[in-house]
Amino acid sequence: MHLRNHIEVWKALRSKAPISLSELTNLVPLSRVTISTIIKEMLQQGLVQSMGFADSTGGRPSALLSYVPTARLAVGVTMFDNEIISVLADLDGQAVKFHRRAWQGTSPESLLTAMAAAVQDLIIDVDRRRLLGVGVGLPGLIDVPSGRLLLCISMGWLGKPVEARHILEQALDLPVFIANRSRMAALGELQTGVGRGLDSLLYMYLGKGVVAGIALADGIYFGASSSAGEIGHTTVVPDGPLCSCGNRGCLELYTSESSIVARAIAKAREEPQSTLRKETHGNLQALTLDTVIRCAEQGDPAAIATFADVSSYLGIALSMALNLLNPQMLVLGGPVGSRAGALLLEPTIREIEKRTLPLTLAGTQIVTGSPDQEFAALGAASLVLTSVPVEQFLMVGDEWSLSEADTTSWDKSATFSAKTV
């Protein structure tokens, strides 16, 4: 039976389940016999399941059908704070299993090797015929169509581009889709996190680097050269310090994790009674972001002033982004945004309110990101679900149904939908 018919029935099931055979017949321009035959095949293949009966309207109640969310699976993997997080997700983008693995390397090649090992551990007991592919969220600037890692300023990866997709596909023998991890975090928040149910969101990743993920019209926007969202290299201080990117006064110089700690050290040196000094026993070089957060929560003036300064720079950059994009939600996430919480959120909101049009702000929620970075891995898995052609979701017998289909792989456009196929 022609694959195109299977695809039409599958799409109807995915969009309307649970649904009766009669309702399917009304939706799909095929005969009832053809649809019944296709449904029988899908039941045998485990793609479709019975969901009981609809409420009776006087006659015999209709049997309801639905797709099986775990019939096909997608893998998502990313890295934060020297930890690789991978997830196995079902067709609804819901987590089936998580896996965490420490990483202490320094090169992009060592990160890719560790990511491949993490994925292999995750899928060791999974029938590979159920796997659609692997979504990968990497730090740095990614050429999305080619899957190459071009550079990562915050990690010091400034050499020649790395063929990340090729390396991972060779290691895993699965299709691989790669984007910057901030974009994956934005998609994860949109699909299953704080932005669930919205169709536009600006996600600010604050960590070793500072990058934005932009979700507009229910999709992630990459830009003409895959570099949309590089807000960390926006000038907030004209003629400020020189950044590694070659620009001066970049936002990242004032709001990254290392810059926050450096600012806190400078302020603690001016405050002999600062809790920051006591927490480090006078060795301020041992100060960490978590210590700065803890001291600010305890009311230490130097720590509080540090977050106030950081928020002023964030407010300058984000007010411009909000006036330009007017998203439904702004999320302060990443290791810094999610851990600092209200310490960073509240002064940043005050700064934004001073610099943003009231009408723009009226339609925008400003929140802290989900505390667990698992959402970025889920976003990477969703990248697979939205990138793989629908025909690859279907099997006939023991073979993938690709013979009659257009098997062109990923649509390499500048955006992709955040809705699952």
Per-residue model confidence as pLDDT tens digits over 264-314:
999 999 988 999 999 998 899 999 999 999 999 999 999 999 999 999 999
CATH classification at residue 9: 1.10.10.10
Asked whether residue 250 falls in the same domain as residue 359, the answer is yes
414 has a pLDDT exceeding 90: no
pLDDT in tens, 17-68: 898 888 899 999 999 999 999 999 889 888 999 887 766 565 566 789 999 9
Question: How many secondary structure helices (H) and strands (E) does the chain include?
Answer: 15, 18
pLDDT in tens, 127-177: 998 999 999 999 999 999 999 999 998 888 988 999 999 999 999 999 999
Q: 256 lies in a domain?
A: yes
Tokens 């010091």 belong to which residue?
156
396 has a pLDDT exceeding 50: no
Range of the domain at 50: 3-67
pLDDT at site 368 = 95
User: Across all residues in the chain, what is the average pLDDT?
Assistant: 88
Please, which residues have CB within 8 angstroms of residue 87's CB and are 6 or more apart in sequence? 75, 76, 77, 95, 96, 97, 98, 99, 122, 374, 377, 378, 380, 381
CATH classification at residue 293: 3.30.420.40
Higher pLDDT: 372 or 269? It is: 269
**pLDDT band at 411; cut points 50, 70, 90:** very low
pLDDT at site 405 = 33
Asked whether residue 179 falls in the same domain as residue 135, the answer is yes
Asked whether residue 144 falls in the same domain as residue 251, the answer is no
Instruction: Report the share of the chain in percent with pLDDT over 90.
Output: 65
